[in-house]
Amino acid sequence: MQAGKNPSFILPMDVRRKQQLCYHVVLLTQTGLAAVSAHVISTVGCFLGNISNVIAMKILLTIFLLAICSSCADYVTSQTKTVSSESVILSVPEGWVLYPSPAADSSALQCANYSRREWKVEPSESKVKIRLDKLQDHQASLPAIINSRSVAVGTKGYRSVEQVDDGWLVGLDVGEFGGGLWWFSSDGKSSKKLSEDRIKGFAKTSTGVFAVTGLAHLSFDDGKILQIGNGTAGNRKIQTLADLGSAPQAFVVESSDSLLILTTRGLVRVKTSGITEQLLATKYQQLYPNSMILLSSGVIYVGMRHFVTRLTPTENGYKEEWFIPDNCTQFRERDYDCICLSKGK
């Protein structure tokens, strides 16, 4: 070494190699969670003159592997969370079992059409409660102050009642025999018939009260949504908001701005703007759905003759599942009824 030269700028070959190695390791480990600590430790390890090449390499290799493992662990954790959130498995309602989706012209649906057991679905603590449907479920009680034979119902008529700011709205649906919509004052002394339509039910929305109406009988199949305007003394304007294209069988309020309606042809969304969206084609027409509920998860349950179905939202629409009581997995038509058979028969 020449005199006067500063030897601190000339490094031995093994030290320079270690510096180059350190540089590349730091670049690699910066993509992991241990980037900062790897940089510090590797730098210290490279410039400590009393550490051998073997020990330095071991330290660097350990840091490199830890950085990679840390990064991989984060990736795996994130992927696991994604999978678990997308693979929520809904349980089968207690006392019921899955049933293969029947074809539209199957003997199963033909038998179910005759069934005298109709199932009603109700919400129960974020789940579904299933029980036998009763006529009384569709005959809303009149307020005590209303005493009018005009809105009396017999053994087959359905009645809906909705309170409004100046009284009550009462709707009747007696199928092919008629129906109607009435307004009654708060004291029950005044009344006015507003429409001849068959009223399936009322829904309160952000733009007022809607009435779901329609009829499916023989070759006739029609349905619509009426918007009931505000007014005094029964002077309310009734106008058609949307044409459903077929008769409604059950419905549920989806939000303050939309309804989900099950018609004889399928599931339809109706917005307060009057826009309709066809969501799913169904084959429930001859099973006469009587009720449907919407859970907070977006899952829909439908009650009808013999079966209950569940519609689970998917990216492309809905996944449809059919359920039947666990004591009725085999059945056949007999005496104009769909009879459950004991196992082995």
110-125 pLDDT per residue, tens: 999 999 999 999 999 8
Count of alpha carbons within 13 angstroms of residue 105, beta-carbon side? 0
Short-list 200, 214, 204, CA closest to 163:
204
The more confidently predicted of residues 213 and 52 is 213
What span, in angstroms and rounded, lies between the C-alpha atoms of 110 and 194? 39
Q: What does the mean pLDDT of the chain come to?
A: 82
309 HSE (CA, 13 A, CB side) = 23
- First-to-final CA distance of the chain: 106
pLDDT at 73: 42
Give the percent of the chain with pLDDT over 70.
74
β-strand 308-314 against 317-325: which pairing, if any? antiparallel
Alpha helix (H) ranges present in the chain? 13-29, 35-47, 53-86, 107-114
Interacting residues of 168 by C-beta distance below 8 A, sequence separation 6+: 143, 146, 161, 162, 183, 184, 186
pLDDT of the residue at 92: 95
- Cα dihedral sign, 57-63-65-67: negative
Categorize the per-residue pLDDT at 43 as very low, low, confident or very high, splitting at 50, 70 and 90. Answer: very low
The answer to which of 83-92, 161-170, 175-184, 298-307 has the lowest mean pLDDT is 83-92
How far apart CA 119 and CA 128 sit, in angstroms, is 12
